[in-house]
Structures are given as C-alpha cells and as structure tokens.
Amino acid sequence: MKLVVAIFRSERLSAVLEELYRADVQGLSISRVQGHGGEREQVETYRGTTVKMELSEKSRLEICVSNHFVDPTVKAILKAARTGAVGDGKIFVLPVEKIYRIRTGEEDQAAVTPVGVPSRS
Amino acid sequence: MNQADIAWMLVSTALVLLMTPALAFFYGGLVRSKNSLNTMMMSFVSLGVVGVLWALLGYSLAFAPGGAFIGGLDHALLRGVNLEAKGTIPHVLFMCFQGTFAIITAALISGAIVERMRFSAYLVFISLWTLCVYSPICHWVWASDGWLFTWGALDFAGGTVVHVNAGVAAFVAAIVLGPRKDYARQAFLPHNVPFALLGAGLLWFGWFGFNAGSALGATPAAALAFATTMLAPAAALVVWTLLDLMRNGKITAVGAATGIVVGLVAITPAAGHISPISAILLGGIAAIPSYYGLVFRARTRLDDSLDVVAAHGVGGTVGALLTGVFSEKAWSGVADGLLFGNPGQLGIQAVAVGATLLYSGVVTFGLLKLVGVLVPLRAEATDEGLGMDVTQHGEEAYMDGEGAILVLHEREAVVSPALASAAAGGRS
C-alpha cells in the first residue's frame, strides 16, 4: 500500500481527474495549496504598486492505493499534469503503515479497495 | 425647452449609464473566478472607449442629417452639439443620453466571447463595431430620415437597435471565436451568483431610465413606459420560475436573474406603445422562447458563453414582434398593432428585425475577420487555462496577498524577512 501525493498546476486539475478516472483509480482527496517550484513569478500591479507573486496556487492530490495501482496512478498524473514548463510540480510515493476504513473498520488492503470490487490481496 | 423634461432626462442618462457596471456584475458573477475581472472589464472599458468614440464620430453617424442608411458628418467632434434645444432638451444632453445606449450595446456582446477573447482584440472590435454597426442601425430606426423610422417601425427604446443587434453580433462572434478550450468537456460554473443577482437588480433599476427616458421628456408616455418596464419583467420572472419548477423541480437564482433580464429586453421596443396589462402578457410570453432557447443552446457546439443570443437576440426579436401585436393607439397615440386592427404593423416590425439581423450579422462577421488579421482574436490556450485576469490584466479578483513581494524598481525587490524564509522554505 502506498500513499501517492502529487502537487501540480491547478489549471491541470480537471485533466488529472479525467485521466485518473480513465485509469479506474477512485477515492482521492484534493486540497488547494500555495507553493513555489522555481517557476518565474507572476508580476501583478495594483494602483501603481507592482508585486511579484512568490507563491502560486497549486493543487495537491492525495490518494492511497494498493501496490498494483501505484504505477497506473503515477502514469496518469504524469501524463495529465505535464505542460513542459518549470513549475509542473512533483509526485511523491510514500509507504503506508496501516489503513482503516472508518465506516466498516476494515483494514489495509480491504480498506483501499473500492466498494463492490473483490479484494485481490 | 422644458425644465421638467431636462430634469428627467438628466436622471435617465445617469440611470442608463449605471446599466453598464450592472451588466459587468451580471456577467462577472456568471463566469469562473479566474476570469471575473476580465469579464467585468469588458463592460467597464466600453464606458471609456465607446463613450469617447460616440462623442467624436458615432453620434454624428447616427443622428446628424444624412441619407436613409447613415447620418452625415455635421456633428462630428460634437460640432453643433450645444445647449440649443433638440426636442425639448438641450442637444448636448440628447447626445449623452444616446451615448449611454451605444456603450451598453457594445458591452452586451462581450457575454458571448468571455473567458477566451484577447483583450486588445476586443477593444479594436467594439470600437469598429460601434461606428460600423451600431451607429447606422441607430440611424435607420431613430433618426428622422432613417428608412425604418420613415416606414413606421416601432422601437420605443431599442429592441432592434440594442438587443436584436447585440444578440446577432454575439451569435456571430461566438461562432468566429469558437468555443472555450474545454467547452462541453468541463462544466463552467458561475463563481458568484449573488453578483449575478446584484447585476440583474441594478439593470432593472437602470432600465427605468432606458425605457421611460426614451420618451425624451417628463411626459405621460414616460409614465406608461415606466409602468410597462415594471410589469413585463415581473411577469417574465414569474413565468421563468414556473418553467424552472416544471423542468428541475427547483426555482434557481441564476434563472431568476436571467428571467428579469429577458423580460426587460422584451419590453424595450414596446415600452411606450402598449397597455400595462399587455405588458404583463408580453413579459410572460417572452420568457418561454428564451428559456427553451437557452436550454437548447447548451446542448450545441455554440459557446455563446452567457447566452446573449437567447436573452437578447431571441428576447429582443420576440419583443419587437409582439410590439406589432399589442400596440395600442389609445394608450400611445402612435399606432395600433395586430390585436387592435392593424395587422400591417407586425409586418413592418418583422422587416425591422430582419434588416437588423442581416446587416449586423454580415458586418460583424467582416469586422471580426478584419480584426483577426491585425491581432489574434483569441488568447493563447495556456493563458486561457491560467485565467484571463492574470494573463490579460496582471491582477486577480480574489487573493490573500500572501507571498507577494513589493517591487520598487525593475530588478530590485524588497523582501520582508518572514517572506524570504517562507520563499526559501518553498524551494528546498
């Protein structure tokens, strides 16, 4: 079981969700984060005050998957989130010690297998 | 000159001017947050560009003595537009009042091309459009030597001149520009429905100046136009909510805002020509084709993003034709319509609508193609993805300002210690 954390451009979010859906990956969390990945800062002007926006809006996706789903998940994100310019983001794959499904109390593999799909553990 | 007339027209002019910022809120609330400033600026900038062009040339092309199709240059650069009487009000006030109509008509078109049109291309387009499309059609209908005016077409406050005209231009512009890049793949949701309601409310308020002001004086005709402007949108709102209820089981706020606007559009040509009871009928009837036009449009590839065609094109056409049905000489003293024994009026109304459709459609298409040669009409696809606010204007509508570094000179940045460490942390 792995936790896949991806931080990428917010404007690619719809494309990423679409690609994950195609790869049959379900059950994820999205949050809006601010960060800096070395890209050129956006310059904005308000009433004569010019500012460089050091932090830019990014999307952070967290998804816990069984081992055989790690590869399709990562590939889907790589494909959909990439624009080729600096600031496309990162994907982190982390080991997971223990998982519980709150509703049923199921653990580990069973807890990350979507309802209705027989567990392949 | 009549002082009561002057007072009412001063107020009316200010009311109509307010409609353009109101439109900015109506449109601005309906787009995504990353495009909200760009959308609102498309209306606001018209106050400047069209306002100036109207004074320099547009007014003359519309109202100076000329031929049946376009005015002359007698009033170019406001020559002869002074404090002398034009009707019962000073000529310069008449020019301002008509100018506010030109401003909002150009701004109306923007609803069809928001979230993708390059701002510079939009500026060039509305400038040319005001002179080449708005001024001539305005001349046809409202100048005493215009061909539709002499023919007896009824357009009290601009159903054809403003709404059919802008609706057709919007239709053509949406086709020439093409749909937004994720159109029909992603849902584009309104980012601030309260803004849309605020805009609709302020539009209604301003519309009293638009319609009752079109009587050009503090007259009984103005009172009639005022009453119909109150009743027709009320009826349209009621019918719209019923249609919403039948179709979705719920009455929506965006629907209510749209229903109000459709009722206002429809009553515009009829305002001073029909009885108040007829206005209720007209508003209620007009809601139906616009409602279903809007539902149908959403299933097509026509990305008329904020439904200018359904609201203004269809609403304006229905209003102009119904003017030919409900007109009542007993109320207006001008002409009877179909229901009052003058079926010919409906034919004249149809010709006025048809001529506007044809001329505005063809010339708008030509102008967009011309502007497209000078400047690409669309923003880059990546800019469209990032949002038009940041890419076209270098501003954002909603932000907390975190991570903003003050730039005092071109290359020198002053960084507060807290921000510097935050930025360094972000890079590690």
B176-187 burial string, b = 16+ CB within 10 Å, else e? bbebbeeeeeee
B69 min Cα distance to partner chain A (Å): 45
| CA-to-CA separations, B289 to A34, A100, B292, B296, in angstroms, rounded | 46, 55, 5, 10
Mark yes or no for CB contact B406/A54 under 8 Å. no
CA terminus-to-terminus distance, chain A: 11
Helix (H) or strand (E) holding B123: helix B119-129
| Chain A residues touching B397 at Cβ < 8 A | none
**Predicted pLDDT of residue A36:** 84
pLDDT one-digit tens code per residue, B366-382: 999 999 999 999 999 99
B95 pLDDT more than 60: yes
Mark yes or no for CB contact A42/B390 under 8 Å. yes
**Predicted pLDDT of residue B392:** 95
**Predicted pLDDT of residue B367:** 98
**What is the rounded distance in angstroms from the CA atom of residue A14 to the CA atom of residue A80?**
9
Q: Tell me the average pLDDT across B13-24.
A: 98
User: Are B146 and B68 contacting, i.e. CB atoms less than 8 angstroms apart?
Assistant: yes
Mark yes or no for CB contact B423/A46 under 8 Å. no
Mark yes or no for CB contact B423/A36 under 8 Å. yes
- Residue whose token pair is 């949406």: B174
Q: Tell me the average pLDDT across B256-284.
A: 97
Beta bridge partners of B183: B186
| CA-to-CA separations, B166 to B16, B86, B110, B352, in angstroms, rounded | 16, 27, 9, 14
**What is the rounded distance in angstroms from the CA atom of residue B335 to the CA atom of residue B351?**
17
User: Are B325 and B338 contacting, i.e. CB atoms less than 8 angstroms apart?
Assistant: yes
Q: Is the ipTM of this complex over 0.85?
A: no
- Residue whose token pair is 């994907």: A91
A117 located within any domain? no
**Cβ partners under 8 Å of residue B103, min gap 6:** B17, B20, B46, B47, B50, B51, B54
| CATH number of the structural domain spanning residue A37 | 3.30.70.120
- Burial label for A93, CB within 10 Å (0-12, 13-18, 19+), is middle
A10 min Cα distance to partner chain B (Å): 8
- Sorting pLDDT into bands at 50, 70 and 90, what band is B345? very high
Search chain A and give the residue with CA nearest B399: A57
The 8-class DSSP code of residue B334 comes to S
Q: Is B249 left (phi over 0), alpha (psi -120 to 50) or beta?
A: left
Closest residue by Cα to residue B300 from B190, B381, B183: B183
Mark yes or no for CB contact B426/A55 under 8 Å. yes
User: Are B108 and B80 contacting, i.e. CB atoms less than 8 angstroms apart?
Assistant: no
**Predicted pLDDT of residue B426:** 42
A81 located within any domain? yes
- Looking at chain A from residue 78 to 107, which residues have their Cβ under 8 Å from any Cβ of chain B? 83
Search chain B and give the residue with CA nearest A46: B395
User: Are B250 and B292 contacting, i.e. CB atoms less than 8 angstroms apart?
Assistant: no
Provide the number of structural domains found in chain A: 1
- The pTM of the full predicted model, rounded to 2 decimals, is 0.89
B241 min Cα distance to partner chain A (Å): 32
Q: What are phi and psi of B357, to 5 degrees?
A: -55, -50
pLDDT one-digit tens code per residue, B168-202: 999 999 999 999 998 988 889 999 999 999 999 99
| Chain A residues touching B390 at Cβ < 8 A | 42, 44
**Cβ partners under 8 Å of residue A20, min gap 6:** A28, A63, A73, A76, A77, A80
A118 located within any domain? no
A120 located within any domain? no
Q: What percent of chain B has pLDDT over 70?
A: 95
- Sorting pLDDT into bands at 50, 70 and 90, what band is A118? low
Q: Tell me the average pLDDT across B47-56.
A: 98
A121 located within any domain? no
Mark yes or no for CB contact A51/B386 under 8 Å. no
Mark yes or no for CB contact A54/B394 under 8 Å. no
A104 min Cα distance to partner chain B (Å): 34
Search chain B and give the residue with CA nearest A35: B426
Closest residue by Cα to residue A8 from A95, A17, B425, B33: A17
How crowded is residue A47: how many other Cβ atoms within 10 Å of its Cβ? 4
**What is the rounded distance in angstroms from the CA atom of residue B116 to the CA atom of residue B221?**
43
Spell out the domain ranges in chain B.
3-374, 398-428
What is the domain range of residue A26?
2-112
**What is the rounded distance in angstroms from the CA atom of residue B326 to the CA atom of residue B338?**
7
| Chain B residues touching A37 at Cβ < 8 A | 426
pLDDT one-digit tens code per residue, B79-93: 999 999 999 999 999
DSSP letters for B210-222: HHHGGGSSSSHHH
The 8-class DSSP code of residue B69 comes to S
A119 located within any domain? no
A92 located within any domain? yes
**What is the rounded distance in angstroms from the CA atom of residue B134 to the CA atom of residue B103?**
10
Q: Tell me the average pLDDT across B210-226.
A: 97
On whether any CB of chain B is under 8 Å from the CB of A39, the answer is no
**Predicted pLDDT of residue A20:** 94
Q: What are phi and psi of B400, to 5 degrees?
A: -95, -5
On whether any CB of chain B is under 8 Å from the CB of A41, the answer is yes
**What is the rounded distance in angstroms from the CA atom of residue B323 to the CA atom of residue B353?**
12
B182 min Cα distance to partner chain A (Å): 10
Which of B237-241, B300-304, B386-390, B402-406 is predicted with the least confidence, judged by mean pLDDT?
Answer: B402-406
B16 pLDDT more than 60: yes
**What is the rounded distance in angstroms from the CA atom of residue B58 to the CA atom of residue B126?**
12
- Burial label for A62, CB within 10 Å (0-12, 13-18, 19+), is middle
pLDDT one-digit tens code per residue, B402-426: 778 888 765 554 454 445 444 444 4
How crowded is residue B300: how many other Cβ atoms within 10 Å of its Cβ? 10
B323 pLDDT more than 80: yes
Assigned CATH class of B3-374: mainly alpha
What letter represents residue B38's amino acid?
A: N
Distance from the Cα of residue A98 to its chain's centroid: 20
